[in-house]
Amino acid sequence: MDGTLRNFLKESALELGAARGALGDGHWRYGVDDDGIGWLVLNCEGSSANTISDPVLRELDAHLQTVEADTPRALVVRSAKPSGFAMGADIDTLADMDAAAAEQLLTEAHRIIDRLEGLSCPTIAVVHGAALGAGFELALACDYRIAIDGASFGLPEVRLGLHPGLGGTVRLPELIEPTSAMQMMLTGSTAHTAKARALGIADLTIEERHLHAAIQGVLDGKVEKGSRGLMARAFALSSARALAAARMRQTAQSKAPQDHYPAPHALIANWEKHGDDPEAMRKAEIASFAELLQSQTSRNLIRAFFLRRKLKQSATRDHGITDVHVIGAGVMGAEIAIWIAMQGKRVTVSDPDDDALGAMIRQATKICDGAHKTALETRDTLDRLMPDPQGHGIARADLVIEAGPEKPELKASILADIGKRMKTGAILASNTSSLRLADFIENVPAKTRFAGLHFFNPVSKVPLVEVVSQEKTGKETRERLLAFCTAIDRLPVAVTDAPGFLVNRALMPYLLEALLLIDEGIPKERIDKAALNFGMPMGPVTLADQVGLDICLDVAESLAKSLKTPIAAIPSLLRDKVEAGNLGRKSGRGFYSWENGTPQPDSNATIDETMTDRLILPMLNACAECVRTQVVGSADEADAAMIFATGFAPFRGGPLHYGRTRGHQIVHQRLQELEKAHGPRFKPDPYWRDDLQA
């Protein structure tokens, strides 16, 4: 953290009471400095991040009354949390509200935010870190927004099946070009510092040490407020909005079908109808938000939000891991090392191929850029990421991660060598995706400190990590690894050393069934379309190409040898593709040609329910088996893992939640019908008959 920012946060949190007229013992503190500037500082009690809850807004209302009674030269609104400005609304409160209660809450919240907007003195939101959702909407009510380097702004409510509800649908299109505002709200995308300035969200972007000068510049009239320009004025015409809305609907329907995701379509309708009438737009926003909150989509997406939070909170102890060594700088090893270094850990990486180590450093720069890291943050990441061809870092590492090729003999040799060189108390983890840890237990000296850390590709995009315990893994080791994953901003799920663990065990029947359908003569585009219609982010044939057909074959063969329950036979066409070197995206050709980018499924394909069930129900059945046999601790954890590792239709709440919604008896009956028609791979797991939910 910047030293100047640290000093301000200390002053705002602990010493603002010394300011003239300082008030506040709750979530807000207010005081007026010697220059006559009021400082209203948000520091939500008992939380590492600010959220905009009903108590927070009611306290804000009380402070605004004080400001109105003795108006300062200007009012500065900012956060005392190092984590950022504010992360959005209090989802816990919203989750159980009926429509009437939600409308009442939002109406009162609008009144308070409008009161901030209506102050007679200039109001300045100073944003460091993230201003998201209701936090951004609070900043939008201020006259000016000053972004500290690294700040970001976003309205991600669409990810919860909602749209902004505290005036964001009105104020953002009034502040910046309306179609850009709509794009942010429809996609939930984030505008980082430079983009926020370019769009007109931020009036200034500065370093923290220049804050007081920037505020003085605002007061002296040296900072010009942004103007939306001619394009924005054009959208005051209903005909212009109608044309733009038609294009937005077409895009939204292709990416977020209205039957699955109603919120974007509700937002477009509101803007098209009321975009020239702020007061009508506010009323429509409140009513629409309250209605969407009752939808099954929103309830399931909020469920996914809670599942994510639960995984983050699963680690309760100090992990004690500051130095990490990664064996292997291939695709997975490099990404694992880069991600860990980005999160502040020292990482050494060994690989016999010097070129691979060099490519890793180049890849690190690209990943940092994609994550909107500043030049200083990128430099610090590269300083922490150290090529180590001889593996000297093994001796001082608290955690060593083996990420070599999925070849049993090679892994056994690597693990045996690492074990001899590690310091006492260090943890050894393998990133294997298809091999059993039990097969290597004799190759490691400290068996209680040997486990699996199964990251998913690409590590920087897929947040889940399976923390795999073999029979002799110690409880302390498992807990330290869970805590470590949380510390590097990944979502850990604890699983046991079963074939395929959880995610690959559940995903492989889905992929194999798709290939069997191809073998039966069904076009691959039609198969992918069936999965997309269900809500999967990618069709199974496209996914197989993305993963790599060689990897799919390895995992399928491993499961076929290890599982006691039957899975689909490995189609000969998969072996033929691999033997021909057509491995999918990485080779340019697999089932699809990738020369012109990601292939598109046939949008006109006719889909029947049987095809969808043949793809989806084997995945549900595998998850059910994993819960019943305690490969994973609960149905909630299984749902979370599948959502955050595979993108399983989040608006359905996870595979087992979808099974509960559809009905266990119906799922059981449907699997029986498929078993009769297609064979024992569809045999229903006892979970469905006995309703064995964890």
| Distances, alpha carbon 405 to alpha carbons 402, 413, 428, 551, 562, in Å | 9, 12, 17, 11, 20
Q: What is the enclosing helix (H) or strand (E) of 358?
A: helix 354-370
Contact 458, 436 (CB under 8 A): no
68: annotated active-site residue: no
Which of 103, 157, 466, 479 is catalytic? The answer is 466
| Total length of the chain | 694
CB 35 within 8 A of CB 218: no
Alpha carbon distances (Å) from 480 to 312, 450, 471: 13, 12, 17
Interatomic CA distance for residues 64 and 116, integer angstroms: 7
The CA R_g of the chain, rounded to the nearest whole Å, is 27
Establish whether 433 is a catalytic residue: yes
The active-site residue out of 50, 314, 504, 582 is 504
Q: CA torsion sign, 230 to 236 to 240 to 245?
A: positive
Kindly name the residue from 265, 454, 657, 664 that is annotated as catalytic: 454
3-state secondary structure of 556: helix
Q: Which residues on adjacent β-strands are paired with residue 495? A: 468, 632
Nearest Cα to Cα of residue 221 among 117, 148, 144, 149: 144
The whole-angstrom separation of Cα 28 and Cα 18 is: 15
One-letter amino acid for residue 140 of the chain: L
Active site residue 525: no
Q: Which residues contact 138 (CB under 8 A, 6 or more apart)?
A: 52, 77, 86, 113, 116, 125, 131, 166
| DSSP labels, 127-144 | E-BEEETHHHHHHHTSSE
- Which residue in 53, 433, 434, 469 is the catalytic one? 433
**Which DSSP letter does residue 6 get?**
H
540-547 vs 524-534: helix axis angle to the nearest 10? Answer: 100
Active site residues: 433, 454, 466, 504
